[in-house]
Amino acid sequence: MSKENKNDRPSLVGTRKNYPWAQHHSERSFMRNARIIGFCFVVLLIGIVAGPHGVYSQSDNSSTVQGAAGEPYPNMPAIAPIGVRIGKYLDVPSSSQGPPIDPAKGYRVQDLGKGLYMITDNAIQSMFLIYDRGVVVIDAPQNLAAYIPKAIAEISDKPITHLIYSHSHADHIGGAKALGGHPIIIAHEETLRLLKRDADPNRPLPTVTFSDKYTLRVGNQVLELSYHGNAHEPGNIFIYAPAQRVLMVVDIVFPGWMPWRRFALAQDIPGYFAQVEEIRKMDWDTFVGGHVARTGTHADVDVQAEFNHDVKQAAATALATTKPGEGLNPLDKNNPWAFFDHYIDRVAAQCVNTLTPKWSTKLGGFDVYIWDQCYSMEQTLRIE
């Protein structure tokens, strides 16, 4: 490492022991020690007042101050753990990037064939389908709400007659109200239940719901909606355009990227893993995942499935080979939360170390969320 980039994330090769995130600890250590000295002074006063049976240790060693951070665990990954500020995240592989966005426009439209289009700002995605008398919009993300009418106007002057909700989350449909008009809104019945609960005026309630399958036929266009159970959240549906051979499933597969943290906040992680496999086996040509820059291919879904498999293996091995309680402060032996935290942190660290060599250059955002994925995986393996 040169002096110029000493605060940058180093190459992952041969720098395991540098713990770049730990440098931030030392940069902050003066202020922390100052606070600890003040804290210890107060403790000393309390000790004098409370007498020889005072609660706190009077040591000035920060590692014995209750609740304070100590040394990193042995074999700590170079990937910074959760809660530590990053100097520079890993570069995004070129294979993860999509076509550029015109900064003057703020969005791009991708022709998926036969009247179906994707619109994206390269972070979130929705679609629209043109038919002879109108337009069907599929999801109205908050961040795209202003762009959707402009994007449609580039191609058609027909009105929005239908709106389909992939699921209830505001980042995907929070722009629904802003689209205006009174379209027919189609969603799964669980989405209706959740939206009633959320009572968000920006997400109007669906006017048509279904439980298993629903086929929308408008003019000569068809969309097949289907429900495959809970994974990301109840009510999240598969949307298939048979003429275009496009499958849209939101918040499950992220072409070229890590899933968002904790397997994209999957409410049912075994269900999430199963849906990735289902998507993989289905017959389609283009995949729209609702996030990141580009559409997906079967190769992208294969990569996601392989990553899921590897995380599962790495977490299972780490759970089996990490010794619970090893190195725990004996004073914490009657604190079961501390006992498990100490175990699970070491499991996650081993899981991150196992996955880093193969995956850190393969998926965008690997370093951003790998700790989250490992924590989620060890948990689902222990209790589900």
Q: CA-CA distance, 162 to 192, in Å (whole number)?
A: 16
Residue at shortest CB range from Zn ion: 169
Q: CA-CA distance, 37 to 31, in Å (whole number)?
A: 10
Q: Are 343 and 325 in contact (CB under 8 A)?
A: yes
The residue among 145, 140, 97 whose CA lies nearest residue 122 is 97
Tell me whether residue 162 or residue 169 sits nearer to Zn ion (CB atom): 169
Q: Minimum CB separation from Zn ion for residue 232, in Å?
A: 6
Tell me whether residue 124 or residue 352 sits nearer to Zn ion (CB atom): 124
Q: CA-CA distance, 150 to 209, in Å (whole number)?
A: 28
Q: Minimum CB separation from Zn ion for residue 248, in Å?
A: 13
Q: CA-CA distance, 376 to 71, in Å (whole number)?
A: 24
Tell me whether residue 173 or residue 315 sits nearer to Zn ion (CB atom): 173
Q: Minimum CB separation from Zn ion for residue 3, in Å?
A: 44
The residue among 16, 167, 22, 122 whose CA lies nearest residue 77 is 16
Would you tell me which residues interact with Zn ion (CB under 5 A)? 169, 251
Q: Minimum CB separation from Zn ion for residue 190, in Å?
A: 13
Q: In what order do the strands lie in the sheet with 208-210?
A: 108-113, 116-120, 125-131, 134-138, 160-164, 184-188, 208-210
Tell me whether residue 9 or residue 169 sits nearer to Zn ion (CB atom): 169
Q: Minimum CB separation from Zn ion for residue 46, in Å?
A: 48
Q: Minimum CB separation from Zn ion for residue 20, in Å?
A: 32
Q: CA-CA distance, 150 to 323, in Å (whole number)?
A: 58
Query: Strands 221-227 and 160-164: what pairing?
Result: unpaired
Query: Strands 125-131 and 116-120: what pairing?
Result: antiparallel
